[in-house]
Amino acid sequence: MNQRYVYLLAALLTVIGLSVFFYKWQVLGFPVTEDQEAPVWTIESAVNFQSGPGSIKVQLNVPWLTPGFRTLNENSVSRGYGFSTNFGSGGREAQWAIRRADGEQTLYYRISVYEDDRVNESDTTPPFPPTPTIIEPMKTAVDVLVDDVRDHSADTASFTTELLRRMNDPSPDSNVELISAGVSTSAEFVDVITTLLASARIPSRMVHGFPLSGRQRSAELVSWLEVHDGDRWLYFNPATGEESLPDRFLVWWRGNEPLVNVEGGSNVQVDFAIQVNHLEAVAIAETQAALQGTSAVDFSLYSLPIQTQAVYSVLLMIPIGALIMVIMRNIIGIDAFGTFMPVLIALAFRETKLFWGLILFTLLVTLGLTIRFLLDKFRLLLVPRLSAVLIVVVMLMLFISMTSHRLGMEMGLSVALFPMVIIAMTIERMSVVWEERGPADAIRAGLGSLAVAVAAYTFMVMPWLEHLIFTFPELLLVILGFVMLVGRYTGYRLTEIRRFKELTRD
């Protein structure tokens, strides 16, 4: 009965711990490994214009549905202007308004995005476009071209490819020549293509955006073609007819509306600059979770002040040490002084590094023991003697630090990081065992403590483990569950198999 509750509780703790962990990992995107940095692009658009005499209203198309990218944040810098974002006919728009302005005006809109493959957003299936009204003789040319292309294609995708191939033909036929007369920019070209596709009752639209790579001081918008095949949107390279999207293509806006619309201003010019930063994946996940309003972040350690974070990143390794301790003591069965002494020693090893830690610890305990045996001659009472040992330990630390500093070995300075009270108690315990059970037992238990400390240290310095626990402190629940299970472990300890070997003989 009792037993079952322990199992239930342990299972419950594990389930809670793991589900919070998976939620934060899979849904919020907290990284499980340490140095996951993700590139974050900041695209800044500067709208430049000469203000007119009256009130000014500026509308700028801004990103909305961006396949492959997720928005980290966006903001606008525009002194004196009222700013808002809302949905217009072409998608999302940033809107600035001001009653009166003088001279040249510059409005900034800035958006930061990062790559996220899971974003595969497309808007709803569009209706079949109405047949565009095209006047003769253009209409005949369009009809002939569309019919011809339809004969040479099987579906929407192949139709589009074939159409683009013909339109891009270096030696175009007369129909194509007629249709593409007067087309100079790539945007105009894509515009013509959408009209042609509409004549064939194929929904299509123009997309504008940037292939993101490194830093670009002035980025050029690239126009692309989007065609709906009835199920989803397909992307076509208008210049080659290839069905693809450029690498890391950030869709800025869709449709053939102009990028910017300024009422009450003139000489409008929009410049784009792209900046790339590498942000820690954790920071991105945090911002993302905050946007979603998840409370998981309220309990994140990353929201603490940096100094407190540093303290906790060390403190959170203590449960790991305790876990190792439990395994070493109850499953393997190694003798050690004190319950948590090895964990605290391992904690000190983190600072001193293993090699020097072992040397300093052994030195300190050996010297301490020697002096403890000398003190024994004076027959001091217990508490004064313990205090004397503690004081001696502090003085030894000072002595080791100063000597090693003189010798130019700076590692000796870190001896001060050892928990001196724990060391003093260890020396006392060890000397008692030494007297009572002999040096062999004392040294064996001393080495056992060191072995446990080294094992705990090995795990406590694993950077990925530290990151994992720090980012997902809920995993402590899993450790707690496991430790509780070991608390009900009634099997043999490994060392007992050796101890009772006489009983395994036939």
Partner 1 sequence: MFSAAKKLRETGVLGLNERNTNFIMRFNPRSLYPRVDDKVLTKELALAAGMPVPDLYGVIVHQAEVRGFAEIVGDKNSFVIKPAQGSGGDGILVVTGRSERKRDSFRLSNGLLISEGELQHHISNIVGGQYSLSGTRDKALIEYCVHFDPTFAEVSYQGVPDIRVVVYRGYPAMAMVRLPTRASDGKANLHQGAVGAGVDLASGITLHGVLDDVLVEEHPDTGALVAGLQIPQWDFILESSARGCEVTGLGYLGVDMVIDADLGPLILEMNARPGLNIQIANCTGLANRIARIEEIYDEAATPAERAATARREFPAGA
Q: Which residues bind partner 1 (CB under 8 A)?
A: 330, 333, 379, 381-383, 432, 436-437, 441, 487-494, 496-497, 499-504
Q: Minimum distance between the CB of residue 377 and partner 1, rounded to whole angstroms?
A: 10
Residues 6+ apart with CB under 8 A from 133: none
Q: Are 41 and 276 in contact (CB under 8 A)?
A: yes
Which residue, 355 or 489, has its beta carbon nearer to partner 1?
A: 489
Which residue, 315 or 432, has its beta carbon nearer to partner 1?
A: 432
Q: Minimum distance between the CB of residue 438 and partner 1, rounded to whole angstroms?
A: 8
Amino acid letter, 196: L
Can you spell out the DSSP letters for 88-122?
Answer: ETTEEEEEEEES---SEEEEEEEEEEEE-TT----
Q: Minimum distance between the CB of residue 402 and partner 1, rounded to whole angstroms?
A: 33
Count other Cβ atoms within 10 Å, centred on residue 437.
12
In angstroms, rounded to a whole number, what is the distance separating the alpha carbons of residues 184 and 488? 80
Q: Minimum distance between the CB of residue 367 and partner 1, rounded to whole angstroms?
A: 22
In angstroms, rounded to a whole number, what is the distance separating the alpha carbons of residues 143 and 331? 83
In angstroms, rounded to a whole number, what is the distance separating the alpha carbons of residues 340 and 205? 68
Q: Are 444 and 363 in contact (CB under 8 A)?
A: no
Distances (CA, A) of 314 to 34, 317, 326, 329, 459: 15, 5, 19, 23, 12
Which residue, 269 or 339, has its beta carbon nearer to partner 1?
A: 339
Closest CA to 186 of 194, 198, 176: 194
Which residue, 231 or 436, has its beta carbon nearer to partner 1?
A: 436
In angstroms, rounded to a whole number, what is the distance separating the alpha carbons of residues 322 and 328? 10
Which residue, 84 or 387, has its beta carbon nearer to partner 1?
A: 387
Q: Minimum distance between the CB of residue 370 and partner 1, rounded to whole angstroms?
A: 19
**In 3-state terms, what secondary structure has residue 449?**
helix
Q: Minimum distance between the CB of residue 429 and partner 1, rounded to whole angstroms?
A: 9
Residues 6+ apart with CB under 8 A from 198: 129, 130, 131, 132, 204
Residues in the chain: 506
Which residue, 171 or 504, has its beta carbon nearer to partner 1?
A: 504
Helices 382-406, 420-437: inter-axial angle, 10-degree rounding: 120
Which residue, 406 or 505, has its beta carbon nearer to partner 1?
A: 505
Which residue, 215 or 488, has its beta carbon nearer to partner 1?
A: 488
Q: Minimum distance between the CB of residue 243 and partner 1, rounded to whole angstroms?
A: 60
Which residue, 82 or 487, has its beta carbon nearer to partner 1?
A: 487
Which residue, 247 or 502, has its beta carbon nearer to partner 1?
A: 502
Q: Minimum distance between the CB of residue 301 and partner 1, rounded to whole angstroms?
A: 35
Q: Minimum distance between the CB of residue 383 and partner 1, rounded to whole angstroms?
A: 7
Sign (positive or negative) of CA dihedral 449, 444, 411, 463: negative
Q: Minimum distance between the CB of residue 505 and partner 1, rounded to whole angstroms?
A: 9
Angle at 439 between CA 435 and CA 440, to 5 degrees: 135
